[in-house]
Structure 1
Amino acid sequence: MSAPTLPAGDQREARVRGASCPRTAPPREALARALGRNLSAHAFLIGAVLCFSFFSWYPMVRGFLLAFQKTEDGRTTWVGWDNLRTVFADPAIWQAWRGTLLFTGLALVLGFAVPFVIAIVLNEFRHAQAYLRLLVYLPVMLPPVASVLLFKYLYDPGYGLFNTILDALHLPQQQWLQDPDTAMLSVVIAATWMNMGGATLIYLAALQSIPGELYEAAELDGAGVLRKIWHVTIPQTRLILSLLLLMQIVATVQVFTEPFLLTNGAGPEGATTTVVYLIYQYAFNFNNFGAAAALGLLLLVLLAGFSAAYVRLSRTADDA
């Protein structure tokens, strides 16, 4: 007795179903195939993770541990909060915080407002805008050390360009970097010129995304330039403004390069001493890496807390 056979139509349907449902590979074989297909992608990913781990994660973890340790004669011991007590007992810490907060305040007045004003002016140009964008961004492309040395030449009390201009205007010359009253302002001016290009281009991109109908409606309502900026430009760029404000505060609190190169760090009568420069002193001048790590950890905690509170308040304001 022969086995029953399917009709021709059912046989074709069975063959199609078999072709559309291939045999499932074992999990190990499927994993090997997936790794083979994405071998190059995994290689690049592993390389990036290793580099980030070695140059970012490991120093952060090592610095955190070092904040609670002390190394003498090649022996490392745990000292708990002693490094933080050493930092708080140092009178220089309060002077460093005053200098840091002063730099941050002046940088917000100049470095936050000036790029926004420049972006508004550039947005009004209809010709040569690409050339002007390049001109504004050029200082960012220069090496920071070269830019700082340029300003050190401009601030020179004898032959510097700034005093030459003051002399031509019959105004008294200034000891820009040697006077405690003007040293920090001079550092802020140099830092603003060096770093404003990126913020200006971000502001300009945000301004160009504002619909022109909003300005036309404001003009029909009789709004002038200042009222259009206040009622149209600022509300439409509020997200970018708040984001760059947070980034600038975090960056300016960590300032080091400009005062270190312009005024040798502390400046006249300690006028340009900052927290990061004090960390540098603890580590490389006093050879107290534990205190340097403790002060760095304190700075990290304060900036993280400020950033979290700022984001929370901004989110609350947006929801209101």
Structure 2
Amino acid sequence: MNPLTKSTTSVPIGPQAAARRSRPQVLLRKYGWSLAFLLPAAAIFLLFLWLPIMKGFVYSFYSIDFVNGNKFTGLDNYRTVLADPDVRIAIKNTLYYMFLCLIIGFWVPIVFAIAISEIKRFQGVFRVAAYLPNVIPVVVLYGLWRWLYDPVGPINASITSLWGGEGISFLSDTSWSMISLVFMETWQQFGSAMLLYLAAVLSIPRDWYEAAEIDGAGIWQRIRHITLPSLRSLILLMLVLQIIGTSQAYQSQLALLDGGPMNATLTYALLIVKYATTRLDMGTASAMGVLMFLVLGVLAMLHFRLDRKGGDAA
């Protein structure tokens, strides 16, 4: 057979196959710069977030000793967590703190956002005034409120001058210490949440309010039937974020009272810090962190499930 006329089994590459083969190159050419800009952020996210999370899972099964080396202990760290009475106290205090933040602080930014949206003049001034406490450095904040809560401070002076009797031991009384921290943090942090609610309120079509006014609806009826239903998804999201945030609270409890008086402000996250830094028991601290991670993960998945149902219903 003539080699020039010899048949071959190779199949020529058609235009569709060539297009499929060149598709990764097209995508790389199209999104290459975007991926290049995303890579540093993704690397930082992986290095400083997910790597510590995974190492925390691993360390929860070890007795951490930086001198003699780590020793595998199985579930001993988790048994220590479940047997420690301070853990039960910390869980109770954390739930109490979350409850106080919900009934005292959660509705404050919503109320301020709706009130500011109804103001016709100097609205920008009120926005800035409401957000100003959020920019105060925490060192100044704690010093300011320690002075305000002092037994001879301005709050107690006002109480005794108006109602007489003795003042309130805001920071040394176990009944008032956690409530005092919640009031302080609500005053300082409600401004950022208020701006989010205010943006959502201002995005509601004004035609709805005008139609309600023509129908004779008052301000409370407009808020009840237009504003609050329009904010439902945002309120649910902020509720979940607040639950997650307040469950990890420890900064003010540590800076002002170090968990006192008599462990009245000892939160779960603060106990983790104490296990890691004071007791130098990194394995038990990791086990506590893993348990918190699992609980908060369940809450996040519950939120996504509820939000999806709400979107499908809408």
Q: Structure 1 length as normaliser, TM-score? A: 0.83
- Report the equivalent of 2:138: 144
Larger radius of gyration: 1
The one of 93, 101, 107 equivalent to 1:113 is 107
Partner of 2:225: 231
Equivalent position amino acid for 1:88 in 2: L
AA aligned opposite 2:49: S
Cα distance change on mapping 1:319 and 1:46 into 2, 3 Å = closer
CA distance in 1: counterparts of 2:137 and 2:225, whole angstroms: 39
Shift of 1:192: 0.7
Aligned counterparts of 1:237 and 1:246: Cα–Cα separation in 2? 14
- C-alpha distance in 1, partners of 2:230/2:44? 39
Task: Please state how far the C-alpha of 1:317 moved relative to its aligned partner.
Answer: 4.0
Residue type of the alignment partner of 1:162:
I
2:163 corresponds to 1:163: no
Q: Which of these residues, 205, 208, 229, is aligned with residue 214 of structure 1?
A: 208
1:19 equivalent in structure 2: none
Q: Map 1:26-105 to 2 at 5 A.
A: 44-72=37-65, 73-105=67-99
Aligned to 2:5: none
Letter in 2 for 1:197: G
Q: What is the Cα deviation at residue 43 of structure 1?
A: 5.4
How far apart are residue 38 of structure 1 and its match?
Answer: 8.5
Change beyond 3 A, Cα 1:121–1:66:
same
8 Å contact kept, 2:237–2:303: no
Match of 1:248 in 2: 242
CA distance, structure 2, for counterparts of residue 88 and residue 38 of structure 1: 50
One-letter identity of the residue aligned with 2:307: S
Distance in 2, Cα, partners of 1:286 & 1:137: 39
Question: Residues 92 and 153 (structure 1 numbering): CA distance in 2 closer, same or farther, change over 3 Å?
Answer: same
Structure 2 unaligned residues grouped into runs of 5+: 1-17
Q: How far did 1:157 drift?
A: 1.1
Alpha-carbon deviation of 1:318?
4.2
TM-score, with structure 2 as normaliser: 0.85
Question: Contact conserved, 1:144 with 1:194, CA < 8 A, in 2?
Answer: no
1:58 positional shift: 1.9
What SS does the corresponding residue of 1:186 show, helix, strand or coil? helix
User: Tell me, what secondary structure is at the counterpart of 2:106?
Assistant: helix
Q: Which residue of 2 aligns with 1:123?
A: 117
Counterparts in 2 of 1:179 and 1:316: CA distance versus 1, 3 Å: same
Aligned residues: 293
CA RMSD of aligned residues (A): 2.6
CA offsets 1:22-80 (integer angstroms, 9 cap, x no match): xx9xx99x97xx78x99876654433333223222221121111111112442212222
Identity of aligned residues (%): 37
> CA 1:38 to 1:244, structure 2 compared with 1: closer, same or farther past 3 Å?
closer
